[in-house]
Structure 1
Amino acid sequence: MSYQWLEWAQRIQALSQSGLAFSKDIYDIERYEELRRISAEIMVEHTELEMQKIKDLFLSDTGYQTPKVDVRGVIFQDDKILMVKEKLDDRWSLPGGFCDIGLSASENIIKEIKEESGYDAVPTKLLAVWDKNKHPHPPEAFHYYKLFIQCEIIGGQPLTGIETSDIQFFSESDIPSLSANRVVESQIKTLFEISRDPNKETLFD
């Protein structure tokens, strides 16, 4: 799904943030602040977010802007995929979340799987690196790359966490209602396709 306005808003925000990070001229700083305000107005016009919420998001991010990173754990057992139910929207997703500073992608996904599902897991293969803007996710203020990492369970037991209320394995024909901010059905189906072809190369946008 294409959101041209979202791409414009994100680009304007990125340019304004970079300008504010490196500019010393007071007049340039004023112009970059105006650009940031315009990008926030575009977001308000096309989403349900309030202006103050968007301003808070933008103001909390400083320095040269790059895409943020989200990791998702992909665990198959008996032709079924592990999913967790998110408390935030009562919908299902792959275990995962935004990467924490100081942890590698592998370390992040091990932590997320443990916290959200109770399982101990080891990463085995990077399956896909997908640009969130190029898939049918709802629009968001920032630009994200999503890393889908295949993992194997080596221990633990199913336990819900602070952010999850249920843990189940689902077949391809029984995909539940998904938390679309986190994962969409086309991605889940592609992951099932990959699971049937272990020699398939990593996918990326």
Structure 2
Amino acid sequence: MTSENRRLDQARRLLALAQTGLHYTTAVFDKERYEEIAAIAHEQLAELASMETGDLAELFAFETGYANPKLDVRCAVFNEAGHILLVREAADGLWSLPGGWADVGSSPAENAAREVREESGYTVEIVRLLAVWDMAKHRHPPSVFHIWKLVFLGEIRQSGATVGTETDAVGFFSPDDLPALSLGRIMPEQIRRLDELRHGNTVDFD
């Protein structure tokens, strides 16, 4: 782990301790101390993420209660040629698996299928879980959040041409000839690993 990643991990843990402490404490003195710890963590995270402290505090404003990792749900969809479905993110012009934050009210598999439909227009049936990854244990760029990624295997049931508001292009690509990826969402080696996993019955997990 690099020095920057170690500092990021420490700042995230510090903020999680403060958030959990604020959730459980009933003492005014303790509340003030936990708020001070949270402010220090916000400053550290903002420095590491090159953000304004106020902007980062606003980002975490709704992160209350017992601190948990955020859940990112993705879907790997392959065509008959063995090419994988990718969508281009409108925000940065880079490509990724369809997916995003898990929404309340739906199961992880339901979230994955909906993201594929909304972002690519394809209707898929979720076949099985392929991977459960802790993003901090992979080569993703540093994130202020601690994120777990679930990747499901989906099979196409109906084609479509709809592109969602967050994506502006859709395509199938060989795992060995990928476009520029949004590395904060998916890594090239992870796509190649998913291609291997779909042929077996195992789940890759951290």
Q: Same-fold call, TM > 0.5?
A: yes
Choose the corresponding residue for 2:39, options 19, 37, 40: 37
Give the superposition deviation at 1:68.
1.0
Q: Deviations over 1:72-129 (max 9, x none)?
A: 1101111110000000000000000000011100110111000000011111010000
Give the superposition deviation at 1:193.
2.1
2:203 aligned with 1:202, yes or no? yes
Give the superposition deviation at 1:21.
0.8
Matches within 5 A, 1:21-60: 21-60=23-62
| SS of equivalent residue, structure 1 residue 122 | strand
Give the superposition deviation at 1:198.
2.2
Q: Matches of 2:108 and 2:72 in 1, distance apart?
A: 9
2:88 aligned with 1:85, yes or no? yes
Ranges in structure 1 where 5+ consecutive residues have no aligned partner: none
Give the superposition deviation at 1:45.
1.8
2:170 aligned with 1:177, yes or no? no
Contact 2:119 2:164 in 1 (8 A): yes
Ranges in structure 2 where 5+ consecutive residues have no aligned partner: none
Moved over 6 A (4+): none
Q: Matches of 1:204 and 1:68 in 2, distance apart?
A: 16
| SS of equivalent residue, structure 2 residue 136 | helix
Cα RMSD for the two superposed structures = 1.2
| SS of equivalent residue, structure 2 residue 186 | coil
Q: Please say which of residues 52-61 and 94-103 is displaced more in the overlay.
A: 52-61
Q: Matches of 2:21 and 2:49 in 1, distance apart?
A: 25
Count of aligned pairs: 203
Q: Matches of 2:176 and 2:124 in 1, distance apart?
A: 25
Q: Matches of 2:54 and 2:187 in 1, distance apart?
A: 28
Give the superposition deviation at 1:156.
3.3
Q: Deviations over 1:7-41 (max 9, x none)?
A: 10111111000111111111111110111111111
Choose the corresponding residue for 2:102, options 99, 103, 106: 99
| SS of equivalent residue, structure 2 residue 12 | helix
Q: Matches of 2:87 and 2:34 in 1, distance apart?
A: 41
Q: Please say which of residues 157-166 and 108-117 is displaced more in the overlay.
A: 157-166
TM-score, scaled relative to structure 2 = 0.95
Give the superposition deviation at 1:181.
1.5
Q: Please say which of residues 36-45 and 94-103 is displaced more in the overlay.
A: 36-45
Give the superposition deviation at 1:173.
2.1
| SS of equivalent residue, structure 1 residue 110 | helix
| SS of equivalent residue, structure 1 residue 56 | helix
Contact 2:85 2:171 in 1 (8 A): yes
The equivalent of 1:9 in structure 2 is: 11
Q: Deviations over 1:142-193 (max 9, x none)?
A: 1110001000010131321111111000002211100111111121121122
Give the superposition deviation at 1:58.
2.0
Contact 2:14 2:37 in 1 (8 A): yes
- Give the fraction of aligned pairs with identical amino acids, expressed as a percent: 43
The equivalent of 1:121 in structure 2 is: 124
| SS of equivalent residue, structure 2 residue 152 | strand
Q: Matches of 1:14 and 1:76 in 2, distance apart?
A: 38
Letter in 2 for 1:21: H
